[in-house]
Amino acid sequence: MFVPHFVKSLLLSLLFLLPVAAFAQDNQEDASQKGSISGSFQTDFQYYLKDTVIDAALPDERVGSNSYLTLMYQRGGLRAGVRYEAYFPALLGFPLNLTGYGIVNRFVSYEKDFIELTAGHFYEQFGNGLVLRSLEERPLGIDNAIDGARVKIKLKDKVKVTTLIGKHRDGFRLSEGTVRAVSGEFFLDKILKIRPESNTSLNLSLNYVSKFQPYDGGLDNVPVNSRAYSARLLASKGRFGINAEYVRKQTDPNKVNQYSFAGGDMMYVNLSYNQKGLGINLSAQSMHNMNFRTERDAIDNRTIINFVTANTKQQTYRLLTLYPYTTQVNGEVAYQIDVLYKIKKGTWLGGRYGLDVAFNASICNELDTAGIYQNPQQSEIFKMGRKNYYQDFNLELTKKWSPKLKTILYLVHLKYDKDQIEGRRGFGVVTSNSVIVENVIKMSKKRSLRIELQHLSTKQDFGNWGMALAELGLGGKWFVYASDEVNYHEFGSSKKAKHFYAGGLVYVQGGTRLSLNYARQREGLVCVGGICRLVPASNGFGISVNTTF
């Protein structure tokens, strides 16, 4: 009997843990000593329709699907896991290296006393992730897990040392280069025996990361080893806090920096103040030549050793995702301020339930690199150039009117250099103003209605946008939603507006979520935490199943 290859691979992944499961079931020891099996399954299907109005992409295979099965076993300090993935083919907009099926993640780890050992795939982050951060962001098609070995040692809550070696996952292959790293984290408040009642914490981490990749190209003196160092200070005293990290990276010619032999550096500082009813955060980051990968010719989000997220507000409303900022790792200076204030109940503005006010502003400019190119070892930290990449001002007011009604008013002004941020030509700088009103109505204990009205106005790019969304919750298990996102140039324009309809039904029961949807998807960036991917316009029906067990 013919058995498809992907079925064989799936069976192998299940068999990987069968002996372990049998052991757990047969073990007659105390229940606390028995092993446990857990896991998750997710599959997303999409059927694509032809749509010439929005120039929707229509692949040769009209059905795309992404599927993931994860199985985990744990008994005491022993953990083991395996993940199977299949793309038949991948949904539109996902990286081209996600093609096929197979086991892409398997690991075994053991932890006892002060030591933890891991072999196989793992995720890790040093400090703020500026020198090393491996992660999975499934909506973006990112998974740069490290396949290798890792040792963690923790000494009496005072010192933590992590060392690792391995290769990055790149779709269904491993990166050509190898990453080697060590991190030391020192809990100085414990080492210095600072009294707990002083409400003080002090943490220092020192990190070292090395990338080794052979080179047989035509350039001279390209190093096969590239190294990066960082030091991070994390401290707090009462209401005040600081998170600061400095990175220095050695010569690392690569495709993103156009094979520059200049060194790289980065500084990130976050200052915070918190008290009842008030929170203030000030952050700044400056970088030059901070692209760091295990493959020097890789682009997009592949084989990245570090991740530097955008120092801007991460927007969640649909129209505001038209113009998300992505970090310019070759050089930028970015500042951000975030203020949260609660106007007290019983005041003229606060009323019966109070009023929450949130203000955020950020600016991102080019780094002034004149001195750097004259002397590649010279640092130009926080020296801002004239060219502005992005800036925004956000004001959010949240008001509860009664136990059954809450309103959010959101105002945004932003400038967005589309050519620079998206790597395009001819679009220029987009200036936009947005108004968003969201109402949440609690109709009964089991029913709620959420209504969003959004409008973005601009004279550049594709012109103005409007959106209306309604989401009805029924009993906490059923959700129905419908929306229309419309693109038009201006009121009274003779040009026909483009509508992007969407709607769906969601059912949630325990750890299982099932959704059926239809969407006319506009072209644009999809972002999570300041990391983005570009998706084409599409039209079609989708089914998603997500369950944990």
154 part of a folded domain:
yes
In-domain check, residue 375: no
Is residue 338 situated within a structural domain? no
Residue 223 and residue 175 share a domain: yes
pTM: 0.87
Q: What SS3 string covers 284-328?
A: EEEEECCCCECCCCCCCCCCECCCCCCCCCCCCCCHHHHCCCCCC
Residue at a domain's end among 60, 95, 110: 110
Same-domain status, 69 and 134: no
What total number of domains does the chain contain?
Answer: 2
Q: Are 86 and 97 members of one domain?
A: yes
Show the domain range for 13.
1-31+51-110
The answer to whether residue 322 is domain-embedded is no
Does some domain include residue 237? yes
Among residues 110, 145, 179, which one ends one of the domains?
Answer: 110
**8 and 106 share one domain:** yes
The answer to whether 44 touches 91, Cβ cutoff 8 Å, is yes
The string over 234-261, giving b where at least 16 C-beta atoms fall within 10 Å of a residue's C-beta and e elsewhere, is bbbeeeebebbbbbebebbbbebbeebe
Among 407, 402, 409, 393, which residue's Cα sits nearest to residue 359?
Answer: 393
Q: Looking at the structure, do residues 70 and 96 belong to the same domain, yes or no?
A: yes
- 154 with 292, same domain: the answer is yes
Asked if residues 242 and 271 have their Cβ atoms less than 8 Å apart, the reply is yes
Q: What is the pLDDT of residues 423-450, one digit of tens each?
A: 878 888 999 999 999 999 998 888 999 9
Domain boundary among 91, 110, 129: 110
Q: Taking the chain, what is the end-to-end CA distance rounded to the nearest angstrom?
A: 32
Q: Mean pLDDT per segment of 10 residues, for the chain of length 549 residues?
A: 44 46 45 79 94 89 94 95 95 89 95 95 96 92 94 94 96 95 96 89 97 90 94 95 96 91 93 95 95 92 92 91 91 96 89 93 89 56 89 96 94 94 85 96 90 95 93 90 89 73 94 94 77 85 94
pLDDT in tens, 371-419: 555 555 555 688 888 899 999 999 999 999 999 999 999 999 999 999 9
268 and 123 in one domain? yes
The predicted pLDDT at position 18 comes to: 46
Check: CB of residue 370 under 8 Å from CB of residue 386: no
Phi, psi of 14 (to 5 degrees): -70, -40
User: How far apart are the C-alpha atoms of 207 and 232, rounded to whole Å?
Assistant: 8
| 263 lies in some domain | yes
Does some domain include residue 213? yes
Whether residue 257 is contained in a domain is answered as yes
Q: Which of 134, 44, 62, 143 is nearest to 97 (CA)?
A: 143
pLDDT for the residue numbered 446: 86
Q: Are residues 132 and 206 in the same domain?
A: yes
Residue 463 backbone zone (phi > 0: left; psi -120 to 50: alpha; other: beta):
left
One domain for residues 241 and 147? yes
Q: Is residue 117 located within the same domain as residue 263?
A: yes
What pLDDT does 494 receive? 52
Contact 124, 283 (CB under 8 A): no
Over the stretch 97-140, which tens digit does the pLDDT of each residue have? 898 999 999 999 999 999 999 999 999 999 999 999 999 999 88
Q: Residue 7: left (phi > 0), alpha (psi -120 to 50), or beta?
A: alpha
Whether residue 262 sits in one domain with residue 123: yes
Q: List the one residue out of 427, 414, 416 whose CA is nearest residue 461.
A: 427
The letter for the amino acid at 249 is: K
Nearest to 262 by CA among 275, 253, 271, 274: 253
Give DSSP secondary structure letters for 61-115. SSEEEEEEEEEEEEETTEEEEEEEEEESSPPTTS-TT--EEEEEEEEEEEEETTE
What sign does the CA torsion over 115, 116, 117, 123 have?
negative
Listed residue (175, 142, 374) closest to 262, CA to CA: 374
Q: Are residues 126 and 269 in the same domain?
A: yes
